[in-house]
């Protein structure tokens, strides 16, 4: 929470904070094999229940092989909004990712279906 407060304090009165985070919904259902084709996958194993503050692994792939790992902290979208508002942000929006026309032409709509239904990541845009 202190990091968000620091960001808020650093922005001007009309400042905007943008972040991409795991989609904090109760039915968050990333599939490792699906994420691998995009180059990164959240691995929820061995967890069977999501909760605020859950530390999960993100695995990074190149050609199907794991080339790195990192930890990320899962929060529900309601928690993101509450923290952002308490840090002084007036508006908080959750935006679905949009695949570019070039991406759709190159890979086809079906390639992105699992990533977008429901979205595995969400864009947060918060304004002061």
* pLDDT for position 94: 98
Distance CA 74, CA 53 (A): 6
**pLDDT tens-digit series, residues 23-76:** 999 988 898 888 999 999 998 888 889 999 999 999 999 988 999 999 999 999
SS3 call for 101? helix
* pLDDT for position 48: 83
**pLDDT tens-digit series, residues 80-101:** 999 999 999 999 999 999 999 9
ω into 48 cis (within 30 of 0): no
pLDDT above 90: percentage of residues in the chain: 83
107 neighbors 73 (Cβ within 8 angstroms):
no
Residue 5 predicted with pLDDT over 90: yes
- Mean of pLDDT values over 4-9: 97
> E strands along the chain, which residues?
16-22, 40-43, 54-62, 65-74, 91-95, 121-127
Q: Where are the domains of the chain?
A: 2-127
* pLDDT for position 45: 84
Confidence category of residue 102, pLDDT binned at 50, 70, 90: very high
What pTM, to 2 d.p., does this model score?
A: 0.88
* Paired sense of beta strands 54-62 and 65-74, if any: antiparallel
* pLDDT for position 32: 87
55 neighbors 73 (Cβ within 8 angstroms):
yes
Residue 119 predicted with pLDDT over 90: yes
Distance CA 55, CA 46 (A): 11
């Amino acid at each position: 929470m202190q990091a968000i407060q620091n960001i808020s304090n650093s922005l001007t009165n009309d400042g905007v904070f943008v972040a991409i985070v795991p989609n904090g919904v109760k039915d968050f259902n990333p599939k490792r094999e699906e994420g691998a084709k995009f180059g990164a996958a959240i691995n929820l194993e061995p967890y069977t229940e999501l909760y605020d503050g859950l530390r999960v692994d993100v695995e990074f792939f190149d050609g199907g092989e794991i080339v790195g790992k990192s930890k990320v902290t899962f929060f529900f979208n309601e928690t993101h909004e509450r923290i952002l508002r308490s840090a002084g942000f007036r508006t908080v929006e959750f935006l679905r990712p949009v695949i570019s026309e070039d991406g759709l032409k190159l890979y086809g709509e079906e390639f992105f279906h699992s990533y977008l239904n429901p979205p595995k990541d969400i864009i947060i845009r918060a304004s002061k």
